[in-house]
Amino acid sequence: MLGLGVIRKWGEFVKFSHTIFALPFALAAMVVAARPNRGWPGWEKFLLIIGAMVTARTCAMAFNRIVDRRFDALNPRTAARHLPKGEISLASAWALCILSAVGFLVITWFINRICFYLAPIALFIVCFYSLTKRFTDFTHIYLGIALAIAPIGAWLAVTGSLAPQPLLMAFAVVCWLVGFDIIYALQDYEFDRSHGLHSLVVRWGPKNALQFAFLSHLIMWGTLAIFGLLCRFRLAYFVGLLIILVSLLLEHWLARRRGLKWINAAFFRLNALISAVFVTAVAAEVAFPGFRIIR
């Protein structure tokens, strides 16, 4: 039980449950890249992709908690996090961050050379986001780029080269992230404004920022539709897109009509559903290519 408690504590420290946002898009890219083999790249490549995702994200989240610890201690919403409360030491957090970075580099070495050569750049991007709120209102876009690395990296892991499909998926991830991160940032509007932290919510105000978030989500949905047409997907994929559209509309309705107490539900549950539906629809299309509306 003690071991499970330690694992749970560290999982909560890096918000391991939030892996469900980026990981499905990486898996979707993997499936499409491995389309000649019905979407399966083999156990070795699959486990290496999962390992790379987990270690890169753990490194980035540990770094985020470290550099934000002083602001977290001042913000009532985040004051109960592990570093401000002293439940995890700063040295332990740095150890996790560094070990995760090393683990990521080692894993990419075993994937292929291009992934290994690009790995330091990827680590810089995913960690740099944590500093952007100190100097730019467009911090949400930086976070979107950090998550958008996932489908590109998975595609490179399988094929060793780029193509339009992962780039479209990456752009959709950026737009998706910008939209729901703006909604999430509504919770800290007053705190960020009074402590000199930047976001589009602070720059434009909640109402205008929400309008931009809605536009971003519409662009994201349109990009996913283009991605599906490029891949020649049919029934399963576009049913999935319909579910995603309803989820996006519900998310914005909750953010506008139900207030801040509903934001966590809109942020986690609906966006987890969106990513899960997307990877499921893509996997269904690739695994069962004969199932079409039009033959």
DSSP secondary structure of 228-268: HHHTT--HHHHHHHHHHHHHHHHHHHHHHHT-GGGHHIIII
293 lies in some domain: no
45 lies in some domain: yes
User: Tokens 């156990």, residue?
Assistant: 43
Question: Model's pTM, two decimal places?
Answer: 0.93
Has residue 203 got a pLDDT over 70?
yes
Per-residue pLDDT averaged across 236-259, rounded?
A: 89
Residue numbers of the domain that contains 174: 2-287
295 lies in some domain: no
Q: 89 CB contacts (<8 Å, ≥6 apart)?
A: none
Helix, strand, coil shares, percent, the chain, to 5: 80, 0, 20
| 134-161 pLDDT, tens digit each | 999 999 999 999 999 999 999 999 999 9
Residue 18, number of CB atoms within 10 A of its CB = 15
186 lies in some domain: yes
Please, which pLDDT band fits residue 237 given cuts at 50, 70 and 90?
very high
Per-residue pLDDT averaged across 117-129, rounded?
A: 96
Task: Please say whether the beta carbons of 48 and 30 come within 8 A.
Answer: no
Q: Name the domain count of the chain.
A: 1
Q: 252 CB contacts (<8 Å, ≥6 apart)?
A: 183, 210, 213, 214, 217
Distance, in Å, from the CA atom of 123 to the CA atom of 126, rounded to the nearest integer, reads 5
**Residue 248 maps to which CATH number?**
1.10.357.140
Has residue 189 got a pLDDT over 60?
yes
